[in-house]
Structure 1
Amino acid sequence: MAELLEDLSASFSRHLRAEGRAPRTAVLYGQSIRFYGNWLTKQGLEPTVDNLTRDLIREWLAVLHETNAAGTVLTRWRGLRRFCGWLVAEEILDAHPMKGITQPTPPAPPVPVLTDADLAALIKACKGKTFRDRRDEAVIRLLLDCGVRVSELVGLRVSDVDLDAESAIVTGKGSKVRAVYFGARTSQAIDRYLRERRKQRHAHLEALFIGERGATTDFGVREILKVRGAAAGITDRLNPHRFRHTFAHDFLLAGGQERDLKRLAGWTSDAMLERYGASAADARAKEAATRLRRGDRV
């Protein structure tokens, strides 16, 4: 008679203790084995090693995907895979039944977009006439209006910006060059910054954004956002990526076309649309449904 998974699970747990694995790890791995065995029983199958097959494991994982979060499915996958590996090492199984069953990849949690109140508070936090005030407002407005990567922002040169055309040329990943566009208030903020920039000792540099030590770096931009975010009362971690997500959300919410967003954001893959568009997808769906209520028009 084939050995019961429950009995083998006990031996596996002792093996984990001998390896010095954390007790919590043993518990999680044991849960994967127990839950799989319970599922087999519900299918009218014996919870034995004979039913630890690739096809049945695939079916079980598919059921888990329907009723559990992706992170939970990944935990169950890891536990059962580790158990199967031990069975092969102990020569209880000839081959690993999970070979070829790829690891589930939990989606990245949506990045919260910045609200109008957040943005107004950030701009207010930069109000002033000092060089830093002018620079920081220009940085924030460019991130908001253009959704550029932080590397693209710090890579901007003074000559890349055309204030009359309200546009700039950025160099993205793979040295790909594209145009981005901003509004009149951002143009005004950059103009004010450039007037103060001319008075600085690093004004001779090509880099658009400069500080006391020279050209502004990625870290410098993150520090600007950290300081201004704290002054604005934004308690969530504020970073350049949140502006990129906010830009994508606002563009789609306003009815912008996905192909245009790909071009403006410098993406070549549709997967990036899915990733960045997920930040506030429910809000956009609700807005679209509200606009399209046919019953309210008849």
Structure 2
Amino acid sequence: MAEHLDDLAASWVRDLKAADRSPKTIKQYMLAVNQFRDWLVAHDRPATAESMTKYAIATWLGDLADLGREPATLQIRFKGLHRFILWLVAEEELGRDPMAGLQPATVKPKPVPIIDDADVAKLFRTCEGKEFTERRDQAILRVLFDCGIRISECAGLEIGDVDLKHHDVVHVHGKGDIDRAVPFGAKTGRALDRYLRARRDHRLANTTDALWLGIRGGLTDDGVEYALKKRAREAGLEHIHAHQFRHGFAHRWLLAGGQERDLKRLAGWRSDAMLERYGNSAADERAREAFKRMRLGDRL
């Protein structure tokens, strides 16, 4: 009897955990597997490895496209299912790779709008009070704005990661298992200091090392995003998300004449392609500012 995809996927997840894949990565992979399984069931096909044919997979991807899924989403689903299939082949549950020859959707990067300084100031003003959540959210916003770290890195910070005594840095464990020390300025340091003093009196202060505390414990990625969106609503701002701070950080760094090599280290990037991607959002503005500084046409 052919083994069900759910059972095979459970074995794969164990293998991924043994390989120290992050929970977020595993979740993304499993979304693809589960969605393909559901598609098989909806089309009266057995949810087994034998049903993973090139035709079935191509049809499933086509159906996702017809439902209006973005190319980036299609690419993620493609890669997630392909990872599973490659594991099945390696484990000899499949004789060959049925996705060989299939191509993922082409993704054209969309420039991410930068949050301008006036809107960032509005966000800061929503949490200038002395209540615990105001101290916390002010510190979160300052860290995202000043340090440009990922939301997952921000949510994953622990008390011991904040160095206020010696170097004014946060120690970040980032993507690709990269650890780095990211500096922050005086205003961010003040916000962190105020929050840490407020945190000491929180009823959950001694139950977790997580830096950011919520009602039930440390904030997750979603918890940090929720806090940001709540402050954005209070400030009358729409379509604000945490990753805009990271793009804004890269833009401001380059606009101020910062070195790309230093930006790579601070942002935790291994690839130069990330510089292009994150610097693209406001590249035209930087080009105009560079033109004004050079004044090439005014030489004569």
In the superposition, the TM-score normalised over structure 2's length comes to 0.64
What is the CA–CA distance in structure 2 between the aligned matches of 1:291 and 1:139, rounded to whole Å?
Answer: 35
Q: Percent identity?
A: 55
Matched residue, 1:240: 242
Matched residue, 1:91: none
Which amino acid letter does the alignment assign opposite residue 212 of structure 1? I
Q: Secondary structure at 1:153's aligned position in 2? A: helix
Structure 2 residue aligned with 1:230, among 203, 208, 233?
233
- Alignment of 1:209 with 2:212, yes or no, is yes
What is the CA–CA distance in structure 2 between the aligned matches of 1:206 and 1:148, rounded to whole Å?
Answer: 19
Cα 1:287–1:136 shift into 2, 3 Å: same
Matched residue, 2:138: 137
Matched residue, 1:170: 172
| Unaligned ranges ≥5, structure 1 | 1-20, 26-70, 72-99
Q: Which runs of 4+ in 1 moved over 2 A?
A: 100-106, 294-298
Measure how far apart 1:102 and its partner are. Answer: 6.6
- Alignment of 1:112 with 2:113, yes or no, is yes
Structure 2 residue aligned with 1:287, among 283, 286, 289?
289
Matched residue, 1:260: 262
| Unaligned ranges ≥5, structure 2 | 1-61, 72-100
Measure how far apart 1:297 and its partner are. Answer: 6.1
Which amino acid letter does the alignment assign opposite residue 219 of structure 2? T
Cα 1:175–1:102 shift into 2, 3 Å: closer
Measure how far apart 1:174 and its partner are. Answer: 2.3
Structure possessing the higher radius of gyration over alpha carbons: 1
Which amino acid letter does the alignment assign opposite residue 225 of structure 2? R
Matched residue, 1:273: 275
Measure how far apart 1:280 and its partner are. Answer: 0.5
What is the CA–CA distance in structure 2 between the aligned matches of 1:231 and 1:277, rounded to whole Å?
Answer: 29
In the superposition, the TM-score normalised over structure 1's length comes to 0.64
What is the CA–CA distance in structure 1 between the aligned matches of 2:256 and 2:152, rounded to whole Å?
Answer: 26
Q: How much is the aligned-residue C-alpha RMSD, in angstroms?
A: 2.2
Matched residue, 2:222: 219
Measure how far apart 1:294 and its partner are. Answer: 3.4
Which amino acid letter does the alignment assign opposite residue 217 of structure 1? T
Measure how far apart 1:156 and its partner are. Answer: 0.9
Measure how far apart 1:105 and its partner are. Answer: 2.4
* Deviation digits for residues 218-260 of structure 1 (CA, Å, limit 9, x no counterpart): 010110111100111112x111111100001111101011111
